[in-house]
Amino acid sequence: MVAEHAGVSTAQLHYHFENRERLFAEAMTHSFARTGTELERDADTVPASVVLARILHNMLPTDPELRQDWRLWQELWVRALRDETAQHLAVDLYDQLHTWISQAIRRGIESGEFTDCDVAETSTLLLALSAGFGIRLMLGDPGVDLPAAQAAIWRAVAGTLGVPEAFPEI
SS3 of residue 59 by DSSP: coil
pLDDT of residue 7: 74
Express each pLDDT in 108-144 by its tens digit.
Answer: 999 999 999 999 999 999 999 999 999 999 999 999 9
Q: Return d(Cα 168, Cα 170) in angstroms, integer.
A: 6
Q: Give the predicted TM-score (pTM) of the model.
A: 0.83
pLDDT on residue 15: 64
Distances (CA, A) of 13 to 26, 28, 43, 46: 12, 16, 36, 41
What is the C-alpha separation between 91 and 80, in angstroms, rounded?
Answer: 9
